[in-house]
């Protein structure tokens, strides 16, 4: 079996990410292959729905495979990264607008790029052990793959909280934050997949159950109180004046992440609330990601988290308080002829 297993079973076009040793991290080649099959199946009357899942127990997809991005960026080749993100975002837009039911089985870790090939679909299934997160700010990126729009749609200020702290969502919290729709117990997933191939998505309610409550519902008032500021600096100022455990933990999480990425994440989430189309969110995210290696903190973030694994990134601007607002404007300004084309 290759890195991605494509086949037709009954009514369903099935996609299985098959890199369990890498937590099914998504490569550039996989992005292009998935796009190819989705386009073929879109026009194939024999395929009534899509089912995407991941091999292994630990992860559906823990994100994009960033090794090539890091190596090319370190070599001064910024064109590869731009091409990768443009191709990935084109796939994200295809999934968001797909005319047939797109069922994602979101088990284990579902992070970053994994969110883009699952939570943008029409039917998002979470289960026992699901952990959804947008942890990009930790490596100098912003929540992308359409994540800015998903975060902007979350109730209250959950979007700013989840996007800047990388807090993980279990099944109930993923549903609450609009990253998923339905909880199905793990021991029912195989039966669900078989039933989907035979009867289609109308069978899903027969498998759905109510998950145990997650922490976000109880934390919502605190989140709305502190994460409603216009800028990241306003969020920091609010948290530092609260002695609660929630504020201390949220502040600690924020301080770990790249200040430039955190500030830009807040701005993109705010703008995304006004968007009417996923393509608008992806275009805004691309303005940041296309610049993140040459003008941002991505290479240092990946070095600290993945390459050297010392967990001590040396950000160019150490704190959000010291970050000039013009840096945010620069990272998100239009790209002119180089704007994302979908």
- Asked about 113 being catalytic, the answer comes back as yes
Q: Annotated catalytic residue: which of 3, 53, 65, 136?
A: 136
Q: Annotated catalytic residue: which of 3, 88, 144, 173?
A: 144
Residue 335 main-chain phi, psi, to 5 deg: -100, 5
Domain chopping of the chain, boundaries: 4-135+156-206, 216-338
Own/partner contacts of 197-202, CB < 8 Å, gap of 24 or more, are 197/9, 197/10, 197/11, 197/12, 197/14, 197/51, 198/10, 198/11, 199/11, 200/11, 200/48, 200/49, 200/101, 201/49, 201/101, 201/103, 201/122, 201/123
Residue 1: band (very low, low, confident or very high) from pLDDT cuts 50, 70, 90: low
Comparing CA positions, the residue from 123, 2, 125, 150 lying closest to residue 60 is: 125
Q: Domain 4-135+156-206 belongs to what topology? A: 2-enoyl-CoA Hydratase; Chain A, domain 1 (3.90.226)
Report angle CA 45, 95, 217 to the nearest 5 degrees: 130
Global pTM reads: 0.97
Q: Which residues contact residue 48 at a Cβ distance below 8 angstroms, ignoring those fewer than 6 apart?
A: 11, 12, 100, 101, 200
15 - beta bridge partners?
6, 52
The pLDDT tens digits for 91-114 are 999 999 999 999 999 999 999 999
The pLDDT tens digits for 214-231 are 999 999 999 999 999 999
51 - beta bridge partners?
14, 103
> Which pair of structure tokens corresponds to residue 168?
């993980």
- Asked about 64 being catalytic, the answer comes back as yes
Q: Annotated catalytic residue: which of 54, 73, 81, 113?
A: 113
- Asked about 147 being catalytic, the answer comes back as no
Given a cut of 90, whether residue 2 has pLDDT beyond it is no
The pLDDT tens digits for 316-332 are 999 999 999 999 999 99
Q: Are 320 and 259 in contact (CB under 8 A)?
A: yes
Q: Are 115 and 132 in contact (CB under 8 A)?
A: yes
Q: Annotated catalytic residue: which of 64, 108, 138, 147?
A: 64
> What percentage of the chain reaches a pLDDT higher than 70?
100
CB burial of residue 140 (10 Å; 0-12, 13-18, 19+): buried
């Amino acid at each position: 079996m290759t890195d991605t297993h494509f086949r037709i079973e009954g009514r369903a076009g099935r996609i299985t990410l098959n890199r369990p040793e890498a937590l099914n991290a998504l490569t550039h080649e996989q992005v292009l292959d998935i796009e190819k099959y989705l386009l073929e199946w879109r026009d194939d009357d024999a395929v009534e729905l899509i089912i995407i899942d991941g091999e292994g127990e630990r992860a559906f997809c823990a994100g994009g495979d960033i090794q090539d991005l890091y190596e090319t960026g370190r070599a001064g080749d910024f064109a590869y990264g731009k091409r990768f993100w443009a191709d990935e975002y084109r796939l994200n837009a295809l999934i968001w607008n797909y005319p047939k039911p797109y069922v994602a089985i979101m088990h284990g870790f579902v992070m970053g790029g994994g969110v883009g090939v699952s939570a943008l679909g029409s039917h998002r299934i979470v289960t026992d052990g699901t952990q959804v997160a947008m942890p990009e700010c930790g490596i100098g990126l912003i929540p992308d793959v359409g994540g800015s729009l998903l975060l902007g749609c979350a109730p209250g200020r959950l979007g700013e909280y989840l996007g800047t702290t990388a807090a993980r969502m279990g099944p109930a919290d993923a549903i609450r934050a609009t990253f998923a729709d339905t909880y199905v117990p793990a021991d029912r997933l195989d039966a669900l997949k078989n039933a989907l191939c035979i009867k289609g998505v109308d069978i899903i309610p027969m498998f759905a159950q109510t998950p145990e409550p997650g922490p976000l519902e109880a934390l919502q008032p605190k989140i709305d109180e502190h994460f409603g500021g216009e800028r990241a600096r306003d969020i920091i100022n609010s948290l530092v004046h609260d002695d609660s455990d929630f504020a201390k933990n949220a502040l600690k999480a924020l301080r770990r992440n790249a200040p430039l990425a955190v500030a830009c994440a807040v701005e993109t989430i705010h703008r995304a609330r006004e968007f009417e189309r996923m393509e608008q969110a992806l275009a805004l995210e691309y303005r940041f990601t296309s610049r993140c290696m040459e003008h941002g903190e991505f290479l240092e973030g990946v070095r600290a988290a993945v390459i050297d694994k010392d967990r001590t990134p040396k950000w160019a601007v150490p704190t959000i308080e010291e970050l000039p607002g013009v840096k945010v404007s620069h990272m998100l300004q239009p790209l002119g002829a180089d704007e994302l084309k979908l």
